[in-house]
Structure 1
């Protein structure tokens, strides 16, 4: 069986590792990736040291079966060098985490080759996948042929076409092309002083004068990266975070090693088997049981959670920084479960319950994707110094002479530079993958999910990562990618 993997970011690294720790032998893998940074993807490429991994090591392992895999790679010396005193755990630059992903993928390829797998990486963009007529070419590894396909077996197969006109045969295809493109909500593309995609920040911020007034469009983790990196470069101009809600991410609390007993993937799966469905009330009951065991009040926690929507950003930041070491488990349980249980639970929820959650999307994202305490300290320092502000209720941002004008609830704000820190919408098709997705849809190999993303209609096709249809509005995390990769690796080897 020939497996084609389209894309070589973190998802592909997780898939290769999952295949390598399995027992299947003698398969063939071709990875297609036109970009220069294999296995890192957009988030973990070379960048400023101020751009940190936004989570403790325990939830950053790309191997689902081993939560200490990343910590083991990091080692004691590097962990000590990057120890965050507030969190009590190492927080490394994302570029260093990219090295972990790269080392993991390369080690996986080496192990696969040792077991008889044939592997190669093709540095070309895939522009189409279609069904191919049966045929065979005797011999070992099929080679790319302009305008035609060679196959090592005579069975059912797919044809992977690259931008240079070559075609490659595949028995199974995994699409893991990463997240979509950041949206330009205000039509600012091409305006002098506008950065449509902030990453890599090293290049973007080189073009920002140190005394310029800067509008950072968005208030999520990407916006936090921009603000912290500006501060690290000694920026003296005013910085404003501008968004519709003005809500900042929550702040990570110090991990306590609490083991969830109720709000787990196993309990959610058991509910599905018993009842045929899982509701939001079921999940709330599991959370309540966790808090009851710890002697904490469910009603008090949920009340505080909902009231934080209207809390001034700097005050919420100050309160949550003070609670980094608080022994209460409620927020920790919810944050962990959002990534480790959330992807499964979301797919089991009835649509009315999904809609209930969508109405609280910004709050849910804030809790599920928190900032690390060291970044929160920087933001609070800038707030207290009067250098950082938040403009909520943004209705319009327009290019004007010499800069930009932001129109929000509190009136107009003029700035010199605008940096787009709005994350791509979940399940959006990346621009570079549009030709590929078009062929999948036209050939009946896949269909678009009503709420976004791509759903395979053919058993030979698999979708891994943010593009997978039917996922939640929370962007795929490393634990989510690792779990998906494990499931797809098992499916691939069952078909071998």
Structure 2
């Protein structure tokens, strides 16, 4: 009997769980799997660590299954005694709040799936080990790859999958330091925000989903002082409407691969296919055109207007959100100039509309805004320390803050700080290459690293570190889809 294939998974968060579950459901011969995760968040990752119940998943539970082809898997797990009952408040009840459980509960689900997957693999003769050390160096070797941990231990592998997760918020104003008052990473909010004076003026850098979490956590903790959400654009995530079932008829991978036989698929063609999808559903593009035109609408007015559309009969926004899993197929088929233009001119709008917040979260934000406690502002230019806190400058005004919470996006290169030595070692060894839009070059079909146009046989990546080669990479349906495809590669003879 030959040697078992050795599979190394670097990172033990949600992506690793999707891989383990997919591997456990193959009929491949036994292999050896080693998962490297140094943190205390094994199987949960940074997004789903134990935290306050007010921090919710941003997709309905039916869209959060980690099992490919089984959309009800998470809901069935919830029904077996894990169902969360949201607080019965006026702003939660009208919006089916139970469909958006706390992220800490989803973390429990990830742990459960991981343990079940490991048990199934071991029952079938697989070897599964978890190494609680950080991998700091990796390079190709004659037998595949050699990984070195921070303790200097070497591990051999035939296949390596990077599941590094998303990094911490980017400190673009260089505020971190020994002086108090700056919160460089708001997660877990139950700890990061616990010491803030309830009367303090809080400036939250960012207006995305993380900033929404910070606002809701402050509200749930009884904060009474002013809260400012600040960014260059001042655009909040859109408000998710009541979910509807929709089967894509035109905006499909097959349609775009057919178009690509005639050459690259331009952004104009992508928009036309979306229009075909809308027309097939009896919808007009005017709904989406309106949302793009009103992107910079007063944030409070936009919140109120979109909450009023929760039960809207039109399907345009919902269909746009259904395009996410297909976007990973479309993106590599587009010419680079169109991809660069989309990132430059439309990324914020698409991210807002395609990755909306739960309606119950929006209702709470609106209540804070209408009470005069919350302000959402654009034109952020400068943040600096003063003798008694922080000075914040926008295009229109200056304000003082007692506390600054960093809720910005991750660094443009998409490599978590802790993983930088590992990624640099791969680049130095010519096993990986940096994509100009951020992240690493990977092949769409296999998620293998690409260097000088050639795929690297034993190295793969999953998640945010692939941004640039792929498009929206952190949504759970996308992670599940790509993990299933990587699994097929890992078990090939």
TM-score (normalised: structure 2): 0.92
The equivalent residue for 2:113 is 104
Matched, 1:345 2:330: yes
**Which residues of 2 match residues 151-162 of structure 1 at below 5 A?**
156-162=143-149
The equivalent residue for 2:46 is 42
The Cα shift of 1:157 comes to 2.3
The equivalent residue for 1:464 is 462
**Which residues of 2 match residues 110-121 of structure 1 at below 5 A?**
110-121=119-130
The Cα shift of 1:229 comes to 0.8
- Residue by residue over 1:148-186, the C-alpha shift from the partner in whole angstroms, topping out at 9 and shown as x without a partner, is xxxxxxxx2211111111111111111111112311111
| Structure 1 counterpart SS, 2:237 | coil
Q: Is the 8 A contact 1:52 1:91 kept in 2?
A: yes
Q: Equivalents in 1 of 2:95, 2:125: separation in Å?
A: 43
The equivalent residue for 2:173 is 186
TM-score (normalised: structure 1): 0.91
Q: Is the 8 A contact 2:331 2:471 kept in 1?
A: no
Matched, 1:258 2:249: no
The equivalent residue for 2:315 is 329
The equivalent residue for 1:7 is 11
| Structure 2 counterpart SS, 1:390 | strand
Q: Is the 8 A contact 2:61 2:101 kept in 1?
A: no
Q: Equivalents in 2 of 1:10, 1:426: separation in Å?
A: 22
Q: Is the 8 A contact 1:39 1:105 kept in 2?
A: yes
Q: Is the 8 A contact 1:391 1:410 kept in 2?
A: no
> In terms of mean alpha carbon deviation, does 88-97 or 316-325 score higher?
88-97
Q: Equivalents in 2 of 1:292, 1:205: separation in Å?
A: 47
Q: Is the 8 A contact 1:347 1:470 kept in 2?
A: no
Q: CA RMSD in A?
A: 1.7
5+ residue gaps, structure 2, are: 442-448
The Cα shift of 1:63 comes to 1.8
Q: Equivalents in 1 of 2:134, 2:28: separation in Å?
A: 28
Q: Equivalents in 1 of 2:273, 2:95: separation in Å?
A: 27
Q: Is the 8 A contact 2:184 2:406 kept in 1?
A: yes
The Cα shift of 1:278 comes to 2.2
The Cα shift of 1:198 comes to 0.5
The equivalent residue for 1:308 is 294
Work out which of the residue numbers 137, 140, 152 in structure 2 matches 1:131.
140
Q: Equivalents in 2 of 1:47, 1:308: separation in Å?
A: 34
The Cα shift of 1:64 comes to 2.4
Q: Structure 1's 181 and 233: CA in aligned 2 closer, same or farther, altered over 3 A?
A: closer
The Cα shift of 1:427 comes to 5.2
Q: Is the 8 A contact 2:328 2:471 kept in 1?
A: no
**Which residues of 2 match residues 174-323 of structure 1 at below 5 A?**
174-190=161-177, 191-272=179-260, 274-298=261-285, 300-323=286-309
The Cα shift of 1:475 comes to 4.8
Q: Equivalents in 1 of 2:478, 2:79: separation in Å?
A: 24
| Structure 1 counterpart SS, 2:415 | coil
| Structure 1 counterpart SS, 2:193 | helix
| Structure 1 counterpart SS, 2:466 | coil
| Structure 2 counterpart SS, 1:29 | strand
The Cα shift of 1:50 comes to 0.7
The equivalent residue for 1:173 is 160
Q: Equivalents in 1 of 2:463, 2:110: separation in Å?
A: 15
The Cα shift of 1:77 comes to 5.3
Aligned length: 470
Moved over 6 A (4+): none
The Cα shift of 1:472 comes to 4.8
Q: Equivalents in 2 of 1:306, 1:441: separation in Å?
A: 39
- Residue by residue over 1:56-75, the C-alpha shift from the partner in whole angstroms, topping out at 9 and shown as x without a partner, is 02221112222222112111
The equivalent residue for 2:479 is 481
The Cα shift of 1:113 comes to 1.0
Q: Structure 1's 309 and 90: CA in aligned 2 closer, same or farther, altered over 3 A?
A: closer
The Cα shift of 1:319 comes to 0.4
> In terms of mean alpha carbon deviation, does 85-94 or 451-460 score higher?
85-94
